[in-house]
Amino acid sequence: MTREPTYEELQKRVETLERELEERQRIDDEHNVRLRELETVFQNAPDAFVTLDTSHRVLDWNEGAKRIFGYSAEEAIGRDLDDLISREDVAEEARDFTQRVFAGETVTSAESVRYTRDGSPIYVLFSGAPIYRQNELQRIVAVYTDMTARKQAERDLEQNARKYRAIFENTGTATEIIEEDGTISMVNAEFEEMSGYSKEEIEGKISFMPFIANPGDVEKILSYHWRRRSGDTSVPRKYETDIIDRNGNIKNTYITADLIPGTKQTVVSLLDVTRYRELQASYKQERDYLDQILEFSPDGIAIVNKHGEFVRFNRMAAELFGYTFEEIQGRRAFDFYANREEMERMLQTLRSQGSVLNYEIDFLRKDGQRLPCSVSISLLRDRRGRPTGSTSIIRDLRPWKEMLQELREQQEKFRGIATSALDAVIMMDNQGRITFWNNAAEKIFGYASDEALYQDLHELIAPERYLETYRKNLPEFQRSGTGPIIDQAIEITALHKDGTELPVELSLSTLKLGNAFHSVGIVRDISSRKKMEEKLQNMANTDQLTGAYNRYKFLEYLNYEINRVKRNNAPLSLVMFDIDHFKRINDTHGHGTGDETLKELVRITGESLRDVDILTRWGGEEFIVLTPDTDKLSASVLAERLRRTVEEHDFPGVGSVTISLGIVQYAGNEAAEDLINRVDERMYLAKRSGRNRAK
């Protein structure tokens, strides 16, 4: 017979059952709290968190997925994921990712393209992992990070790199960049031509010192190099020295050297002034270092209790702050903020709104460094809605800050180079409108930057005669970036603001920005050079004292006229004359007066000649007049007119002067030398016959 339990036994059983019930309730409460914590992380993450069943249909869809792809949870749940965010061009790749995860593989950090609700493509970083229960696949979780902004930043960096390289390569001046240790790290094509070495032989391999030809300049220029780095503002930016090229040729060079702001590098422009003394040193150029690609790592996730103490801290968050998980667990989150006032402002927003999204704030790492981050925080609440803590998603902003700073530095470097250039640097869009106009362009063409920008370049500075050709070639440039003057240096005429024309040297290259072709032009004013060339040409053809043609030019004209006579059977005559008693003038009045007498003689006799007649100083006080299409009789008339003109003229400081003249006509098949000898004999016959006459 079974014994009935006593009252005390029943009471103990009831107490045991109550304790078991309380323990189960406690476990359930802890489980629910963890579920809410994870749900809060899931819903408030800036990335898209999606879970799929084994049929590839959406089970969970957080707010990050809504922000990135544009579908609400109600629209997404239950649908095939690829139908939502894939298109034909990525369907096979997307299906491959999910099949790999379904097969038990964890996929991490795979870059790809997906599509938003409105059909716009976005770059994403995909990670996925399977979820098992009792060794049976239940679902998979997929995480998508929006990479569109990063990709755009990379494209911006690439465009800037091409732009700055195009400027560097088209300066028209030899340019180098020198590192702190004196090594040449970058040169352009003009430096290759000037030095005789290729870029491969120079860059990173040769110091600038071997190019200095004068031993006495080596110590001085090396001193400039180091003093410039110590902040000595008295170091000259511009100086001259001799440069020796690969073949041992010495080139007198005008050098401009400057430190690149924020670096220990020097940009040096070298202008060979051996041939172009009238030119100034060309502008400095620098190279753009775009060698950083931003690296993104998974976000840090931290959960704190209502006292601000860390209760959960993932591996990446620990790495961001420089601590191990054991070192940071139990510490207060408030201790990690760099600015207490900024932290209080953020917490005030958190208390009033219940969350903050992408709030930019600085933290302090273990090593004391400031860590700029973007933080999204959501409050955790219990069943009664009371705050029990918060969850924070922390994203490292250092790579983005560095990229923005680098972009600003590149822009400042480009402005500095172009602004200090001695040649005009002009950039145009694909419509021919001016988008950049430096100080040198203002000086050369007379237009201020605000007058020139966004104006049609050719209508602004091109003479009218060039406009039709420009309009004809513009469509081909817009289509292919090519044209008859692209990638070459040419000499043309440009128009100044005051309407005057000036000769310039133009180097034009193409730059593709986005889908449009732009152009970069380097323009150099060559007015001084042209004047020098004209002067040299004049010196080669004329007598420097009197301005009459010299013997070399006379023989050139004489041979030409003799050949013409042979073709056309036209007459040709020479008149040679000599000042009578010229030695007496020099002895009596001095050689200075004698020189002035020769110049005055050329002036008055030249006024009696035709435009086609060639007056030449043959030597000393002897002159020859070449008279095309003139027979001996007509030449005799000319000779007599010249004789009277001289005889009747009052020469300053001398008074009366006479000349003796010889006249001959080309006899046909006669050498030029024989013809000159004959007229010389006729002139001396006039002298022997009493002077002041023509024979």
User: Which of the two residues, 3 and 64, has the higher pLDDT score?
Assistant: 64
pLDDT at 307 over 70: yes
- pLDDT (mean) for 405-420: 63
Classify domain 172-272 at the CATH superfamily level.
Answer: PAS domain (3.30.450.20)
User: Which of the two residues, 97 and 164, has the higher pLDDT score?
Assistant: 97
Alpha-carbon span 240 to 476, nearest angstrom: 44
pLDDT score at 678: 94
Domain with CATH 3.30.70.270 in the chain: 542-688
pLDDT at 610 over 80: yes
User: Which of the two residues, 29 and 304, has the higher pLDDT score?
Assistant: 304
Confidence of residue 690 (pLDDT cuts 50, 70, 90): very high
- Of 463, 421, 459, 462, which Cα lies nearest the Cα of 442? 421
How much of the chain exceeds pLDDT 90, in percent?
15
pLDDT score at 293: 23
- pLDDT (mean) for 572-579: 94
DSSP 337: B
The CB density around residue 348, as the number of other CB atoms within 10 Å, is 11
Classify domain 300-398 at the CATH superfamily level.
Answer: PAS domain (3.30.450.20)
Sign of CA dihedral 290, 291, 292, 293: positive
- Of 318, 302, 319, which Cα lies nearest the Cα of 310? 302
Min mean pLDDT across 10-19, 193-202, 627-636 is at 10-19
Q: Would you tell me which CATH number, out of the four given (3.40.50.170, 3.20.20.70, 3.30.450.20, 3.20.20.80), belongs to the domain 424-526?
A: 3.30.450.20
Alpha-carbon span 29 to 18, nearest angstrom: 16
pLDDT score at 31: 55
Which distant-in-sequence residues (6+ apart) come within 8 Å of 321 by Cβ?
A: 300, 328, 336, 363, 365, 366, 371
pLDDT in tens, 538-549: 666 788 888 898
Please give the mean pLDDT across all residues of the chain. 79
- The amino acid that residue 523 corresponds to is V
Q: Would you tell me which CATH number, out of the four given (3.40.720.10, 3.30.450.20, 3.40.630.10, 1.25.40.10), belongs to the domain 41-146?
A: 3.30.450.20
- pLDDT (mean) for 607-632: 92
Q: Classify each residue of 209-228 as buried b or exposed e, where b means 16 or more C-beta atoms within 10 Å of its C-beta.
A: eebbbeeeeeeebeebbeeb
pLDDT in tens, 236-292: 888 788 888 888 888 888 888 888 777 788 888 877 777 655 443 333 333 333 222
Judge whether 375 and 382 are in contact, CB under 8 Å: no
Token pair of 471 as six digits: 């309009």
* Neighbour-count burial of 396, counting CB atoms closer than 10 A to its CB (0-12 exposed, 13-18 middle, 19+ buried): buried
pLDDT at 58 over 80: yes
pLDDT score at 297: 36
Domain with CATH 3.30.450.20 in the chain: 41-146, 172-272, 300-398, 424-526
Phi/psi of residue 64, nearest 5 degrees: -60, -40
pLDDT in tens, 71-82: 988 888 988 888
Q: Would you tell me which CATH number, out of the four given (3.30.70.270, 3.40.1280.10, 2.40.160.210, 3.40.50.10860), belongs to the domain 542-688?
A: 3.30.70.270
Confidence of residue 536 (pLDDT cuts 50, 70, 90): low
- pLDDT (mean) for 514-532: 77
Token pair of 362 as six digits: 């600085």
Min mean pLDDT across 103-107, 279-283, 505-509, 511-515 is at 279-283
pLDDT score at 687: 93
Secondary structure in 3-state letters for 619-650: ECCEEEEEEECCCHHHHHHHHHHHHHHHHCCC
Confidence of residue 296 (pLDDT cuts 50, 70, 90): very low
Judge whether 429 and 297 are in contact, CB under 8 Å: no
pLDDT in tens, 325-356: 777 776 777 777 777 877 788 878 778 787 87
* Neighbour-count burial of 624, counting CB atoms closer than 10 A to its CB (0-12 exposed, 13-18 middle, 19+ buried): buried
DSSP H stretches of helix in 86-235: 88-102, 148-169, 189-195, 199-202, 215-229
Which distant-in-sequence residues (6+ apart) come within 8 Å of 447 by Cβ?
A: 437, 441, 460, 461, 497
How much of the chain exceeds pLDDT 70, in percent?
85
Confidence of residue 294 (pLDDT cuts 50, 70, 90): very low
Alpha-carbon span 261 to 243, nearest angstrom: 27
H or E element at residue 552: helix 551-568
pLDDT in tens, 119-146: 888 888 888 888 888 788 878 888 888 8
pLDDT score at 530: 74
